[in-house]
Amino acid sequence: MSATIGVLALQGDVREHLDALSACGVRAVPVRRERELHAVDGLVLPGGESTTMSKLLDVFEMYEPVRTAIRDGLPAYGSCAGMILLASQILDTRPDATHLDALDITVRRNAFGRQVESFEADLEFTGVADDDDPLRAVFIRAPWVESVGPDVQVLATMPEGPAAGRIVAVRHDDVLATSFHPEVTGDLRVHQYFVDIVTGRRTREGRAS
């Protein structure tokens, strides 16, 4: 039986992530309620508006269930706003915004500028893309990672320009986050990387993949 991966379907690029995951050969489902969360093997937190998403987590009574599930080992992947939600500390955000404290990272919200300053860049991404076959990444009002804890692996940094060296992809155990939006490019490598994390977890737990 193949893995089932949910996409938190409160706001943001839900359909795009569902399509990308389905193209990777897994069952992809929207998640809005706690009972739906308990039925998935992994969870994607999509790009969108992080403060709106944090409020909707409370409205749908999903903040504690999601936080607890990830803390208890549910693999999770956050893109852009999803990265912000997963972080342990957020700079330049609203005082009433909440976060899941699932990754020991400090992120700066909207670090790359406003919507009109969105851009694309070619990245090397550990385990996914290298200099011979880089990953085309789309940044839309994106955060970057200011600092990481000692156990967090840096997977990608900006290669050039004013933001050269800024961290844009990280992983700790089965939690993955990117500043950019792989769901909008048609390149499935980041989603496949997360699918591999999920299926690896299932294998370790003795479930069929």
Q: What is the pLDDT of residues 30-48, one digit of tens each?
A: 999 999 999 999 999 998 8
The 3 state secondary structure assigned to the chain is CCCEEEEECCCCCHHHHHHHHHHCCCEEEEECCHHHHCCCCEEEECCCCHHHHHHHHHHCCCHHHHHHHHHCCCCEEEECHHHHHHEEEEECCCCCCCCCCCEEEEEECCCCCCHHHCEEEEECECCCEECCECEEEEECCCCEEEEECCCCEEEEECCCCCCCCCEEEEEECCEEEECCCHHHCCCCHHHHHHHHHHHHHHHHCCCCC
User: Which among 80, 120, 146, 205 is annotated as catalytic?
Assistant: 80
Per-residue confidence (pLDDT) for residue 49, from 0 to 100: 83
Q: Is 80 a catalytic residue?
A: yes
Q: Is 99 a catalytic residue?
A: no
Per-residue confidence (pLDDT) for residue 113, from 0 to 100: 73
CATH level 3 topology of 4-204: Rossmann fold (3.40.50)
Q: Is 17 a catalytic residue?
A: no
Task: Print pLDDT tens along the chain (209 aa).
Answer: 689 999 999 998 999 999 999 999 999 999 999 999 999 999 999 988 888 888 899 999 999 999 999 999 999 999 999 999 999 999 987 777 778 999 999 999 888 877 656 789 999 999 998 989 999 999 988 999 999 999 999 999 999 888 899 999 999 999 999 999 999 999 999 999 999 999 999 988 887 64
> Residue ranges per domain, the chain?
4-204
Per-residue confidence (pLDDT) for residue 106, from 0 to 100: 96
User: Which among 16, 17, 24, 181 is annotated as catalytic?
Assistant: 181
pTM of the model: 0.94
